[in-house]
Chain A
Amino acid sequence: MFETIQRDWFGNARNDLLAGTVVALALIPEAIAFSIIAGVDPKVGLYASFCIAVVTAFAGGRTGMISAATGAMALLMVTLVREHGLEYLLAATLLTGVLQIGAGFAKLGSLMRFVSRSVVTGFVNALAILIFMAQLPELTNVTWHVYAMTAAGLGIIYLLPLVPVIGRAIPSPLVCIVALTAVSMTMGLDIRTVGDMGQLPDTLPVFLWPDVPLNLTTLTIIFPYAAALAVVGLLESMMTATIVDDLTDTPSDKNRECKAQGLANISAGLLGGMAGCAMIGQSIINVKSGGRGRLSSLAAGTLLLIMVVFLDDWISRIPMAALVAVMIMVSVGTFSWESLRNLKTHPISSSSVMIATVIVVVATHNLALGVFVGVLMAGLFFANKIARFMAVKSELLDDTTRRYEVIGQMFFATSDHFSESFDFKEVLERVVIDLSQAHFWDITSVGALDKVVMKFRREGTKVDVVGMNAATRTVVDRFGIYDKPEEVEKLMAGNS
């Protein structure tokens, strides 16, 4: 155990510290931008980012992943902040943390398996679109200087890494921010700066209990927000953890990560920060910069706070245009551009799940709703596909007896097709329904079978149902025994 701790923390110390520095520099503009999206002072996002990054460094289940104040979460808080104010946001943040810890103990991390790839892609794309859209207010009704600066900023961000040697050693978003700030200050441009957006931190964060009445009214106000925040936070964290798992080819403990996210949010709430979660873009930047261990996240959080507290005068002079450029980069980097190309090749059902997720999110600004719709659609499409695996064959055994053989999956979506497969008007003395190749998954299908038997009886036909035992074993909700390969084989072979 000690060895694991040592490896997680110091196995890659030099690279972790350098990557953490790169991440800290990139986190500052993001935390400020997300605070602005949520409608709170930049310090709320900056304190949150510090706190969440540091707590997840210690408690997290996915080493090398960066968590902080995020856009996905910020978007969910907008109305709460507007209607009830910051204190209620802090209270909601605490509750979010509690719910996430609960989810961690309930092992809900494993529920991620119901979120299909198309939904994940939709989530990511919707997030990128929302981050981009949130930048638009900074780009409307402004002078040409702002456009020029944003364009120059994007130029620096994307072109500088192409320069040999230096390009890979200096973070280009940092260069963009420093250069644009210098230009705006020397030219004395009258454009919006970070200082205009609200208060920056000038001290270390202090412990604060949210100033809200502790009663049921407060709970009814914050609970819907906290629930949505908890769901979206865990979703994005689990998705990001999977991405980091793939990138680094190492495993992670998802349920531990759920608890860590909860703990981080509780701490953030108590230090005057907003709720956050894992960040897809920053985690990619961290891995790309060589960050693998816990030290990278700790360094990112700590450096962020140090820089912000000591450089607050300078940070307040950063033009918003520089921030917008960085956020456009994050949005472009987060968007899954392959998914557009894949629209041609992927099945229409998958593509429509992805697109529906994006549309719902962009329309409601609520990632939780989008995921809900996506998962629901994916489930229905799946049921529809499986429903094709059902057929009823029939043969006349002699003049008075017909044998129907039911093959495949019987459940709510196939019940109608099943009932229509029988010819009740044929005059027969006896009908044999062979179910030994069928699987009955729910009571709708059992009901359909009952109805078929009854209809035959009403025509005066005697019905023999054979193979019933094997077919109905699946109705029972005893999923436990099907985990074993030999049980699955037995089940799918259809004999008891």
Chain B
Amino acid sequence: MNESRDGDKKIITACIDGSGITESIIDTAAWASNTVGAPLKFLHVLEKATTPSVEDRSGAIGPGSVTHLLDELTELDEKRGKLAMELGKHMLEDAGLRARNAGVDEVSSQQRHGDLLEALKMCEDDTRIFVIGRLGEDHENHSHKLGAHLESLVRAIHTPIMVAVGHFATPESFMIAYDGSRTANTAIARIARSTLLKSMPGHVVMIGPENDLNQHNLKKATATLSSSGHDVHSHLRQGNVVDELAAFREEHDIGLMVMGAYGHSRMREFFVGSNTSKMISSSVVPLLLLR
């Protein structure tokens, strides 16, 4: 587990879809790319619309109805597809330009048909960090809802994911939401190996009762990071996890939130609710999710 395994050559893959926060995604990705010195790739996935393009409720089928219907549907899909492809190309060009202006040298772009998750899985082998937006295209108007994709993506992808939010500002410091769980310790180990966060000071924040176990875990996590050259301080606080983390962030004016994501099963989260989802949907700074 050394620097080269995490991959100097591996790239930052940013998914853009033309939603309101595309610019923020580009800026976040450009920052990540500059910080770790990895090439940047913009990925645009053309997902097939679930809504059909023909509406004919006459309920009658005449001679050759299959062929006619197939021709009609193909033609409409073709038009839609061409248009979406064209739009996507422009979007990717604009994104590339913006990233170059932000100082990224190596920028490439790719378009894929099909499911976003499938496309990400395909890119996972040569991707170091994925950058995606919090809002999907379908969610323009719900500023605090998770994009339709995000949770299932985060669960299925094991590469770190950066979630871009509304507006990007270069982070001056970061904080790690730590809870002593296995997911959190994996996240700590992963950060220790990475160069992304070395350039700025950080805080390891734990929300939980003031006891020996928590103290011990927190100390160990901080030590791991310090020994790898990170400048971190530890904090143990009490209260509601999501609220306290947000309060801490505000107090110290922190620009990047780092956390292990979805450590619990679907079932548990269905009943208890997920801190990860709450954190993602309420955060005002970019999040780095580690699985």
Interfacial residues, chain A to chain B (CB-CB below 8 A): 1-3, 7, 11-12, 15, 18-19, 22-23, 25-26, 157-158, 160-161, 167-174, 243, 246-250, 281, 284-285, 287-293, 329-330, 332-338
Contacts and interface: CB of A to CB of B under 8 A. Distances in A.
A53 to B, nearest CB: 16
A369 B91 CA distance: 57
Interface in B7-60: 48, 50-52, 54-60
B48 A249 contact: yes
Interface stretch (B61-69, B100-108, B168-176): B61-69
A3 B58 contact: no
A225 B136 CA distance: 52
A361 B124 CA distance: 52
Interface of B: 48, 50-52, 54-67, 69-70, 73-74, 77, 148-149, 151-152, 266
Contacts of A169: 57
Contact of A250 (B48, B58, B62): B48
B57 A3 contact: no
A170 B58 contact: yes
B60 A158 contact: yes
Given A7-B50, A11-B50, A19 B69 contact: no
A332 B56 contact: no
9 contacts: A15-B55, A161-B58, A167-B58, A168-B55, A171-B58, A284-B65, A289-B59, A337-B63, A338-B64
Nearest to A161: B58
A338 B67 contact: yes
Contacts of B149: 3
B170 to A, nearest CB: 33
A12 B63 contact: no
Nearest to B53: A290
Contacts of B73: 247-249, 287
Contacts of A330: 61
Contacts of B62: 158, 329, 332-333
A145 B62 CA distance: 25
Contacts of B58: 160-161, 167-168, 170-172
Nearest to B67: A338
Contacts of B52: 12, 15, 248, 287, 290-292
A37 B56 CA distance: 30
A168 B56 contact: yes
Q: Which 9 A-B pairs have the closest CB atoms?
A: A333-B61, A171-B59, A161-B58, A11-B50, A3-B152, A22-B59, A337-B63, A289-B57, A290-B52
Contacts of A7: 50
A367 B87 CA distance: 49
A291 B51 CA distance: 9
Contacts of B151: 3
B224 to A, nearest CB: 34
Given A157-B60, A288-B56, A329-B61, 6 more contacts: A171-B57, A247-B70, A247-B73, A329-B62, A332-B63, A336-B64
A76 B61 CA distance: 25
Contact of B66 (A161, A174, A284, A329): A284
Contacts of A291: 52
Given A19-B57, A158-B62, A335-B63, A288 B148 contact: no
A158 B65 CA distance: 12
A290 B55 contact: yes
Nearest to A280: B66
Contacts of B67: 338
B266 A2 contact: yes
B210 to A, nearest CB: 37
A281 B61 contact: yes
A332 B48 CA distance: 32
Contacts of B74: 249
Contacts of B65: 284, 288, 333
Given A249-B48, A288-B69, A292-B50, A333 B55 contact: no
Contacts of A22: 57, 59
Contacts of B152: 1-3
A158 B62 CA distance: 7
Nearest to B77: A249
A432 B234 CA distance: 86
Contact of A285 (B50, B55, B59, B266): B59
Contacts of B60: 157-158, 160-161, 171-173, 285, 329, 333
A15 B55 CA distance: 8
Given A3-B149, A15-B52, A290 B61 contact: no
A12 B7 CA distance: 42
Contacts of A158: 60, 62
B59 A290 contact: no
Contacts of B69: 247, 284, 287-288
A85 B148 CA distance: 53
Nearest to B59: A171
Contact of A170 (B55, B57, B70, B77): B57
A288 B60 CA distance: 9
Contacts of A171: 57-60
Contacts of B48: 249-250
A436 to B, nearest CB: 41
A431 to B, nearest CB: 56
A281 B48 CA distance: 25
B47 to A, nearest CB: 11
A175 to B, nearest CB: 9
Nearest to A335: B63
Contact of B55 (A1, A11, A289, A329): A289
B219 to A, nearest CB: 38
B54 A288 contact: yes
A289 B52 CA distance: 9
A168 B60 CA distance: 10
A250 B50 CA distance: 10
Contacts of A243: 66
A18 B66 CA distance: 20
Contact of B57 (A246, A248, A290, A334): A290
A171 B55 CA distance: 12
A335 B66 CA distance: 10
Contact of A18 (B50, B57, B61): B57
Contacts of B56: 161, 168, 288-290
A172 to B, nearest CB: 5
Nearest to B50: A11
Contacts of A284: 61, 65-66, 69
